[in-house]
Structure 1
Amino acid sequence: MVQTVLVTGASAGIGKATAILLAQNGYNVYGAARRTEKMQDLINYGIKPIALDVTNDESVTACVEQIFKEAGRIDILVNNAGFGSYGAIEDVTMQDAKYQLEVNVFGAMRLTQLVLPKMRENKYGKIVNLSSVGGKIASPLGGWYHASKFAIEALSDAMRLEVKQFGINVIVIQPGGTKSEWGDIAVESLMRVSGKTAYARLVTAFEKSFKKLAGNVPEPIVIAELIKKSIEAKNPKTRYAGGYMAKPMLFLRSILSDKMFDRILMSQMK
């Protein structure tokens, strides 16, 4: 039986690469995003573009209902939609902070709530949540983004224990640096929010460090391959890490003290 997959954030980056890769490998793929005009090329791969604003409950409900009506089921949900709202915690407005969590956390979890009943009924399903190395490591100037990804890690751990009894797997993907629009959006946000505040010096150092790393990051297909590997594993791991410096950074974080890791992190921002 052909499995039906819903990939959110499919208009660019990891989401688009994942939708294409899975479609090329025989899955029935729905690619969802706000910017439907950026998904028209996906039709050539047999992917069905669908409008989705994860911050709008009517949009989320309509998206899931349309797929259930057309395909009868969603076997795999890839919660990829997200962005990075950057700026010093002192500078970021509560409105922007709430929107960051609305997109990265509540949107993903609402979609998950809507697909789980049918997965339970079918005694099969895979929920793939895109976290980040930033879901285990928090750098300065990205506090609210990291909060959203730390939340995804915790929610995934709790859900994994809840739904395993129904034959459903919950998988966390932890990308490191990857080529996408994400970086440009994060830096633009950072400069706008904190570029001229008391944190300006740190912002300049962060931007310099970010640009230096940007040339080394791999294409999003690296993470798409990781997602494919995770959903095709008979007994998937709880977490898969990939992309620039992902595994080394997570390893260092696991063995070093907080203060030692702080020193290493800040040494990159000079």
Structure 2
Amino acid sequence: MTHTSPVALVTGASSGIGYAIAHALAERGYQLIVTARRAALLNDFPAAQVKVFPGDLTSPAFQDQLEHFIFETAGRLDYLFNCAGMLETGPIETIQIEKVAAMLRLNVEATFTLTYKLLKRFKQQGYGHVINISSVLGTKVRPTAGAYAASKFAIEALSEALRMELSGTAIQVSCIEPGLVMTELHKDWEVHPKDSMGIHEPLQTADIVAAVLYILQQPAHVRIPKLMILPKDHHI
């Protein structure tokens, strides 16, 4: 990797929002490290700009290996995009609590661990930007989705506390809070939320990419702590 263009780590890059962000940044000349558990889905990135490092973010050993790989390969990191996440919901009678626990390990524990690990590097560098993919459910709740909402509330709380701690420095923290986006998160649902919620035009991943690019285009003195994006029919 060269050191003339921004260097970014994108987690959850095998599908959905992470995949779309990674491709958009690659098209704009960013040098990327992408990670996800499903290595086979990371094979279509341009090899000259994108280094693929698959693995399980819930493993502390893997996170150590990932950190070492980033700084051995690129020598620095400008952006951390926390896009990896799971969605598990359901009523009390049928929710699979073991899947809820796995979701919390990824959405909260792994994200917190990686963020703090790389913020220490950002502080050594004197700059960097963490962009967390949160959710509208990081600000509101709905029945059957309390655990997922709690995981996003946790990201919101961490992001705000870190923003305050890092105010006055060149290190930034931003949260993007999408409403319903068409990704594979809901592919196994019997009724898709766009139908159950009457959302005729859900967000597309390109809409989230546009929000990311807006944040990245701001001058150095501007901070965007939170940016909520909803489809017009989303009345949660």
For normalisation by structure 2, the TM-score amounts to 0.89
| 2:172 aligned residue | 169
| 2:90 aligned residue | 87
SS of residue matched to 1:97: helix
> Superposed, which structure 2 residues align to 1:141-152 within 5 Å?
141-152=144-155
Which structure dedicates a bigger proportion of its chain to helix? Answer: 1
> Superposed, which structure 2 residues align to 1:33-72 within 5 Å?
33-43=36-46, 46-72=49-75
| 2:133 aligned residue | 130
Distance of 2:192 and 2:65 partners within structure 1: 44
Gap runs ≥5 in structure 1: 189-203, 250-264, 266-270
Contact 1:24 1:45 in 2 (8 A): no
One of 206, 212, 231 as aligned partner of 1:244? 231
Distance 1:206 1:229, change over 3 A: closer
SS of residue matched to 1:68: helix
| 2:207 aligned residue | 222
Q: How many residues align?
A: 231
**Structure with larger Rg:** 1
Gap runs ≥5 in structure 2: none
One of 5, 14, 19 as aligned partner of 1:2? 5
SS of residue matched to 1:126: strand
Amino acid of the structure 2 residue aligned with 1:184: K
Contact 1:120 1:167 in 2 (8 A): no
Distance of 2:124 and 2:194 partners within structure 1: 48
1:138 is displaced (CA, Å) by 1.0
Contact 1:87 1:142 in 2 (8 A): yes
1:92 is displaced (CA, Å) by 3.2
Distance 1:52 1:142, change over 3 A: same
One of 183, 196, 209 as aligned partner of 1:209? 196
Amino acid of the structure 2 residue aligned with 1:242: I
| 1:254 aligned residue | none
* Farther-moved stretch of structure 1 (46-55 vs 20-29): 46-55
Output the aligned Cα RMSD: 2.2
1:206 is displaced (CA, Å) by 6.9
Amino acid of the structure 1 residue aligned with 2:98: Q
For normalisation by structure 1, the TM-score amounts to 0.78
1:184 aligns with 2:179: no
What is the percentage of aligned positions where both structures have the same residue? 32
1:181-236: CA deviation from partner (whole Å, max 9, x where unpaired): 01224x26xxxxxxxxxxxxxxx7979515x53x5223201101211221231213
